[in-house]
Chain A
Amino acid sequence: SAVISQKPSRDICQRGTSLTIQCQVDSQVTMMFWYRQQPGQSLTLIATANQGSEATYESGFVIDKFPISRPNLTFSTLTVSNMSPEDSSIYLCSVEDSSRAWGRATGELFFGEGSRLTVL
Chain B
Amino acid sequence: AQSVTQPDIHITVSEGASLELRCNYSYGATPYLFWYVQSPGQGLQLLLKYFSGDTLVQGIKGFEAEFKRSQSSFNLRKPSVHWSDAAEYFCAVGDGYSSASKIIFGSGTRLSIRP
Neighbouring A residues of B90 by C-beta, 8 Å:
42-43
- Do A43 and B100 touch across chains, with their CB atoms under 8 A apart? no
User: B49: nearest residue on chain A (CB-CB)?
Assistant: A108
Cα distance A88–B32 in the bound complex, in angstroms? 31
Cα distance A102–B43 in the bound complex, in angstroms? 28
Q: Is A96 an interface residue (CB 8 A)?
A: yes
User: B96: nearest residue on chain A (CB-CB)?
Assistant: A104
- Do A107 and B32 touch across chains, with their CB atoms under 8 A apart? yes
Neighbouring B residues of A111 by C-beta, 8 Å:
43-45
Query: What band does the interface of chain A fall in when counting residues whose beta carbon is under 8 Å from B?
Result: 20 to 34
Q: Is B71 an interface residue (CB 8 A)?
A: no
Residues of chain A whose beta carbon lies under 8 Å from any beta carbon of chain B: 4, 6, 31, 33, 41-43, 45, 48, 56, 58, 92, 94, 96, 101-102, 104-114, 116
User: Given known contacts A107-B34, A108-B34, is B49 in contact with A113 (CB within 8 Å)?
Assistant: no
Query: What band does the interface of chain B fall in when counting residues whose beta carbon is under 8 Å from A?
Result: 20 to 34
The DSSP consensus for interface residues of chain A is: strand
Q: Is B99 an interface residue (CB 8 A)?
A: yes
Residues of chain B whose beta carbon lies under 8 Å from any beta carbon of chain A: 32, 34, 36, 41-46, 49, 51, 90, 94-97, 99-101, 103, 105-108
CB distance from A102 to the nearest CB of B (A): 8
Cα distance A48–B103 in the bound complex, in angstroms? 12
- Do A42 and B99 touch across chains, with their CB atoms under 8 A apart? no
**Contacts A45-B101, A108-B34 given; 9 further ones with Cβ under 8 A?**
A33-B101, A43-B44, A105-B97, A107-B95, A107-B103, A108-B49, A109-B44, A110-B46, A111-B44
Neighbouring B residues of A33 by C-beta, 8 Å:
100-101
User: Given known contacts A42-B106, A48-B101, A96-B100, is B51 in contact with A108 (CB within 8 Å)?
Assistant: no
